[in-house]
Amino acid sequence: MPQIHFILKDGSTRAVEATAGHSVMETAIRANVRGIDAECGGSCACATCHVYVDDAFFDRLDPPDEEEAEMLDEVAVDREPNSRLSCQIVVTAELDGLTVRVPQRQA
Ligand code: FES
């Protein structure tokens, strides 16, 4: 089972077992990871599932589609080159160890 590592607002890291085919957002919500709100439930309409993807993994992700790219302009804190919406990142076995940092706020 792939593991996703979430770097929380206080700098600590939580490792969560994920299911391939689920999104990183779903993984976080199921495990009660703090700092990912996901108000729209994963339909790419709220930008409250924003995360910063670790550089080691960023290029291994499919690039954001047009809808996600536009929604990334709506994030509550600074959009960085490695910003992604976690509801749009699908977990695969190859992403085992994926590390994402939760922003200081989502709204
Ligand atoms: S959960 Fe709303 S955009 Fe990702």
With cut-offs at 50, 70 and 90, classify the pLDDT of residue 13.
very high
Q: Are 54 and 99 in contact (CB under 8 A)?
A: yes
Helices vs. strands in the chain: H and E counts, helices first: 3, 5
- Helical (H) or strand (E) element with 43: none
Segment 45-65 shows an average pLDDT of 97
Number of structural domains, the chain? Answer: 1
Is residue 106 situated within a structural domain?
Answer: no
Kindly report the protein residue whose alpha carbon is nearest to atom 3 of ligand 1: 44
User: How would residue 42 be classed by pLDDT, with cut points 50, 70 and 90?
Assistant: very high
- Residues contacting residue 19 through CB under 8 Å, at least 6 positions apart: 1, 27, 91
Query: Is position 107 within any domain?
Result: no
* Residue 93 maps to a domain: yes
Q: Do the domain assignments include residue 27?
A: yes
Q: Which domain CATH number covers 42?
A: 3.10.20.30
- Between the CA of 38 and the centroid of ligand 1 the distance, in Å, is 5
Per-residue pLDDT at 48: 98
- The answer to whether the CB of 16 falls within 8 A of the CB of 6 is yes
Q: Quick one: tokens of 75?
A: 């994030």
Q: Which domain holds residue 81?
A: 3-101
